[in-house]
Structure 1
Amino acid sequence: MIANLNLLSSVSRHRQIMALYDKAPVIAHDSWVAPNASVIGDVEICNDSSVWYGVVIRGDLNKVSIGNRTNIQDRAVIHTSSTTTPGLAPGTSIGNNVTVGHGAILYSCTIENNVLVGMGSIVLDGALVESNSILAAGTVVPPGRRIPSNQLWAGSPAKYVRDVSEDEVADLVKQASEYTKLAETHSDEFLPYGTAYLDVRVHVVALHGI
């Protein structure tokens, strides 16, 4: 009977930001986390970054750090292991101006600055994706693999395709900036009282001239 009541409950028990013992997420005031995302444990999110709908970031085993103007798109998963390749940090580190595409999985890896991780890509433990690089959609980067700077890789396992142009690098930074602006729009809709009161004010002024 209790189980049935739980199914009928209209109260959401989802916890957007969750500490684990003494490990609590640290999120910059101008970053945005979607209301149904989950950010758990030892996680640091820096300025102007965004965590979109359905994302799970678990810093329960080791630290996850996310730089400035980075966007983690819908349903991506970021996790860490308790151990990893000798000589490499077991946490997950993501740099500045990084776009992590929808449904991507990052596991105990390092992503440097100005990188696109394509939709559905998987980057496994100990892997390093250097700056100004692109992983095509669905790419699988094996454990310990290094993706050099200014290169496009694709496939499973990941293979070199071609070099990345200067224009493409500029587009990576531009895309990250555009997501920062888009996140501001979504954030406004999740104020404690939403933004409907602004519309009401407009109508009151129109009707009564006050």
Structure 2
Amino acid sequence: MEPPIIYSKAEFIETDTGNKVSRRATIAGPQNIILGGKTIISSGAIIRGDLRRTGPGHAVVISLGRYCLVGEGCVMRPPYKTYRGNFNYYPMKIGDHVHIGANSVVEAATIGNHVEIGKNCVIGKFTIIKDCAKIADNTIVPPNTVIPALALFSGSPGRFVEDLPESTQEMVEAQTKQYYTRFQPSER
């Protein structure tokens, strides 16, 4: 068993559903951000739920599933494009058991379940990452890329490296649940 990851109880807000959100994270437009439960938002992370489509009342929703980790310094903002002269943001949906490494920037349209994104990655606009994929540290995924299930992508630009084993789903699920269990408040 790996040692616990100790955090300052004063720094994190814990919600009824077990989400742990750092007070040092920037959650812009929280009414448009849905956390599935047992998700950890680390210090310095920025989640932009305040960006809207053209016109009032068209907020864009960012949803994260259960057992997700948004690493320190990550930036998550919905993808956008200009269509017929109108600038629009689009929703971002992230599945369960997704770990996003420190200092990564994510503008994906969809991230499936059991996905690992390394540190210092850039996930381009409207990227679709299928279930059980892995993005290696320092990878830059160009906009509109579709990353197949059980694929490892690496490099700049990110390219397919190899297929991941069928057991990836179980391994990632075990890792995300263990990480959440190890993430313990200090006594103070």
Normalised by the size of structure 1, how large is the TM-score?
Answer: 0.70
Alignment of 1:1-210 (within 5 A): 29-41=17-29, 42-61=32-51, 62-83=60-81, 90-183=90-183, 185-186=184-185, 189=186, 195-196=187-188
| Distance (whole Å) between structure 1 residues aligned to residue 139 and residue 104 of structure 2 | 9
| Contact 2:154 2:161 (8 Å CA) reproduced | yes
Per residue, is there more strand in 1 or in 2? 2
Query: How far is 1:123 from its partner?
Result: 0.8
Deviations 1:93-129 (A, max 9, x none): 1110010011111014211000001111111111100
Query: How far is 1:169 from its partner?
Result: 3.3
Query: How far is 1:156 from its partner?
Result: 1.2
| Contact 2:133 2:164 (8 Å CA) reproduced | yes
| Contact 1:92 1:106 (8 Å CA) reproduced | no
| Contact 2:48 2:78 (8 Å CA) reproduced | yes
| Inter-CA distance 168–71: structure 2 relative to 1 (3 Å threshold) | same
Bigger RCO (CA 8 Å, 6+ sep): 2
| Inter-CA distance 175–84: structure 2 relative to 1 (3 Å threshold) | farther
Secondary structure of the 1:165 match is coil
Query: How far is 1:132 from its partner?
Result: 0.6
Query: How far is 1:140 from its partner?
Result: 1.2
| Distance (whole Å) between structure 1 residues aligned to residue 123 and residue 92 of structure 2 | 10
Deviations 1:27-70 (A, max 9, x none): 65311101211111111111111101111111111211100111
| Distance (whole Å) between structure 2 residues aligned to residue 63 and residue 116 of structure 1 | 22
| Inter-CA distance 143–176: structure 2 relative to 1 (3 Å threshold) | same
| Contact 1:96 1:113 (8 Å CA) reproduced | yes
- Residue 208 of structure 1 is matched in structure 2 by none
Secondary structure of the 1:67 match is strand
| Contact 1:153 1:159 (8 Å CA) reproduced | yes
The residue type equivalent to 2:144 in the other structure is G
Aligned residues: 162
- Residue 203 of structure 1 is matched in structure 2 by none
Normalised by the size of structure 2, how large is the TM-score?
Answer: 0.78
Please identify runs of 4+ aligned residues in structure 1 that moved more than 4 A. none
Per residue, is there more helix in 1 or in 2? 1
Deviations 1:66-105 (A, max 9, x none): 00111111111101245479xxx81221110010011111
| Distance (whole Å) between structure 1 residues aligned to residue 106 and residue 18 of structure 2 | 24
| Distance (whole Å) between structure 1 residues aligned to residue 120 and residue 82 of structure 2 | 22
The residue type equivalent to 2:180 in the other structure is T
| Distance (whole Å) between structure 1 residues aligned to residue 82 and residue 95 of structure 2 | 20
